[in-house]
Amino acid sequence: MLRLSLRAKIMLCCVGLVGLLDLMVVIFVQNRLSDVLHRVYLEKGHSMAVNLAAGSKHFVLTQEYVSLLNLVKNLKDSDKDIAYAYIADRKGNVLAHTFADGFPRDLVGVNSPEPGDSWKHELLYTVNDQGSDGLVRDIAVPILQGKVGFVHVGISERSIQRTISHFTFALIVIAVVVLLAAVGLAAVVSWVVTQPVRSLIKAAQKIRDGDFGQRVVATTRDEIGDLVESFNQMSDELLKQHKVLEERNRRIRMAREQAAWERDKLRAIIDSMVEGVIFVDDKGTISLCNESAERIWNAGASELLGKPVNKCPSEELRSNLGEILKQARQKPGFITANSLELRNGRCLTSYSTVHGEDGRYLGLVFLSLDISKRVVLEREQKRLRDQLFQQEKMVLVGQIAASVAHELNTPLGTILLRSQLIAQQLGKGSYQSDLKVLESEAQRCRRIVDSLLGFSRRSEGVITRTSVNFLVRESLSLVENDLALKGIQLEVHYCTNKTNVEVDSNQIQQVLLNLITNAIDAMPNGGRLLIATRLLSEQGSIEIQVTDNGCGMDHEVQSRAFEAFFTTKERGKGTGLGLAICQRIVEEHEGKINIQSRPGQGTTISVRLPYSPMEVTKSE
């Protein structure tokens, strides 16, 4: 919006008022002059038309057209304002006219008086003899009440317009002169009126800039003078109050500096604390936190400060927060502590209330101590203890298994030999079935004993450089018929890169056959078996994945899958040593074996062996 000064407003008001009056005078005089001139010209035209009608009635009756023509021409030549004149009979036929180029068709039947009219006029827009356009007032007067004909006289309004234009121009010149005089007078008046105001503005600007005690000299005794006097009084009072405020501000500044020093000292103490400090005000909003709290809660100050405490990162704290805040409000001196699970570990948190001297609840202080490393250390110690216990148990089991196996091998061999001799001596008879059962059970016992021996002994196999793809093909060739008989669809994805490893081929084939056999047992009603090999170049290993869509395993079974003698198969169908032996073989080859499974969704067992980039010694 345009900003105008007071002086400009006064000048605009004065000039605008004078200009408006000038405009009103010009318009009024112009309108009055136009009305008077039109009335005068109309009366003059009417008089001429009446005289022409009186002088032409004889010639019309006697049909002296030459005399009528001379009559209308003389009338037109007698006054320059007459644009045309013509006489028509009662049927509208033109008897005489003043048009040099013939009577215009547009005038035929125009402005015809009605029976009983003494005269009639109408404003027409026509073209005169010189070919210029103009307004013409057509005045029609009947001859002998219209019984003989009509007389038409056209009075041009160009003289009226010219007179009005000249007079209007003169009025405008006078109005401009008056307006210029008004501008000069308004400039002088506005300068006189606004001079004290300008002085007041300059003094106020100096006061705004800090130069108090400014005074302005009053030059008049009117309202402006009263305003100047009031300003001087206000300036004196401001100077007095400014001195008072300066002293008060000095004291406040000293108090603030002292408070800031105390605050900074307290903040430095809080930030140097190992414990995380969080203060929650009486509205449940976090208003203070130190660097340790940001580290423990894994959140920046912007994520904590000003946020409701019920939106803190710890879900475990949020579940207990309502009860803690309730007790903190009700019990002055309330203190409690608990251990919380965080996103990046655990912390030990204590809570203590803060109340004012009047007993009003001010907030709650959270002290958090990061115990994540201690918890990790305790877990690692427990894992090592469990691992040591498991190793000791496995050593003991291996020793017992080896001793039992050696003790059982001799009687089992004797039982098998005797059962075969008895079967040969008896020949075909009713006891053959029982002897076959005895022999098969003895064979099963021997297999169990062999498994125990294999589990208890560390084999010194022959290490060769071979391809994992070759080992997978060799292992699958041994079980292809079994897969087809049990309705299991086999899908194999071989790695296109070289998959060389340095392993004991027989032991790795034993691992693969064990994993494939377990997958077949997990799909008694048929299914899909997927075996894939791939090169993990970043980790420097070859991975073999055996995936089935069988019954799967829950978390508890997965945690015990590699335990010796643990099996989920029916009694007599498994020894519980298969995965334990597989794990031992893979770890002896500096590899890793992992299980991923969900109940009802199948199982994936991954075996990773160190990659050997040299050429293989066996052809694939």
Structure tokens at 6: 């007071």
Q: What per-residue confidence (pLDDT) applies to 531? A: 92
Q: Are 607 and 511 in contact (CB under 8 A)?
A: yes
Cβ contacts of residue 427 below 8 Å, gap of 6+?
none
What integer is the mean pLDDT of 119-133?
A: 68
Average pLDDT of 32-36?
86
> Can you list the alpha helix ranges (DSSP code H) found in 63-124?
65-78
What's the average model confidence in pLDDT over 236-242? Answer: 83
Q: What is the CATH number of domain 273-370?
A: 3.30.450.20
* Band (346; pLDDT cuts 50, 70, 90): low
Query: What's the pLDDT at 216?
Result: 78
Q: Exposed e or buried b for every residue in 342-379, given b needs 16+ CB within 10 A?
A: beebbbbbebebbbeeeeebebbbbbbbbbeeebeeee
pLDDT tens digits, one per residue of 587-597: 888 888 888 88
Could you tell me what percent of the chain has a pLDDT over 90? 3
pLDDT band at residue 444 under the 50/70/90 scheme: low
Around Cβ 102, how many Cβ atoms within 10 Å? 8
**Number of Cβ atoms within 10 Å of the Cβ of 325:** 19
Amino acid identity at 593: I
Is the pLDDT reported for residue 617 higher than 50?
no
Place of tokens 């071979």: 466
Q: Is the pLDDT of residue 456 over 70?
A: no
Second-level CATH architecture of 376-454: Orthogonal Bundle (1.10)
What tokens does 261 get?
């020093």
Domain residue limits, the chain? 6-165, 273-370, 376-454, 461-610
CA 312/CA 349 separation, integer angstroms: 13
Q: Which two tokens stand for residue 345?
A: 């570990």
Q: Which residue has the tokens 């006064």?
A: 10
Spell 594-611 as b/e; 16+ CB within 10 A means b: eeebeeeebbbbebbbeb
Predicted confidence band of residue 451 (pLDDT cuts 50, 70, 90): low
The pTM of this model reads 0.35
User: What's the mean pLDDT when you consider all of the chain?
Assistant: 78
Q: Over 50: is that where the pLDDT of 619 sits?
A: no
By C-alpha distance, which of 272, 363, 349 is closest to 313? 349
Query: Quick one: which of 593, 586, 313, 279 has its CA closest to 461?
Result: 586
Taking only the tens place, the pLDDT of each residue in 353-381 is: 777 777 777 777 777 776 667 767 777 77
Q: Which long-range contacts (CB under 8 A, 24 or more apart) does 555-558 make?
A: 558/595, 558/597
Q: Is it the case that residue 429 has pLDDT exceeding 70?
A: no
Q: Residues 287, 278: contact at Cβ < 8 Å? A: no
How far is the CA of 77 from the CAs of 96, 156, 157, 297, in angstroms? 15, 14, 17, 115
- Model confidence at 79: pLDDT above 80: yes
Q: How confident is the model at residue 546 (pLDDT cuts 50, 70, 90)?
A: very high
Could you give the C-alpha distances from 328 to 285, 309, 347, 361, 365, in angstroms and in order?
14, 14, 21, 8, 10
Intrachain domains 6-165 and 273-370 with the same fold: yes
Torsion angle of C-alpha atoms 563, 565, 567, 570, degrees rounded to 10 = 180
pLDDT on residue 448: 66
Domain 6-165 has CATH 3.30.450.20: yes
**pLDDT > 50? residue 399:** yes
547 or 569, which is more confident? 547
* Amino acid occupying residue 345: G
Give the pLDDT mean for 223-247.
82
pLDDT the model gives residue 66? 86
Looking at CATH, the fold of the domain delimited by 461-610 is given as Heat Shock Protein 90 (3.30.565)
Q: Are 552 and 603 in contact (CB under 8 A)?
A: yes
- Is the Cβ–Cβ distance between 344 and 321 less than 8 Å? no
- Say yes or no to pLDDT of 75 above 80: yes
What is the mean predicted confidence (pLDDT) over 573-584?
72
CB of 38 closer than 8 Å to CB of 191: no
Tell me the one-letter amino acid at 144: L
Tens of pLDDT, residues 84-118: 888 888 888 888 888 888 888 888 778 888 877 88
Rg of the Cα atoms in the chain: 62
d(CA 168, CA 181): 20
Higher pLDDT, 225 or 384: 225
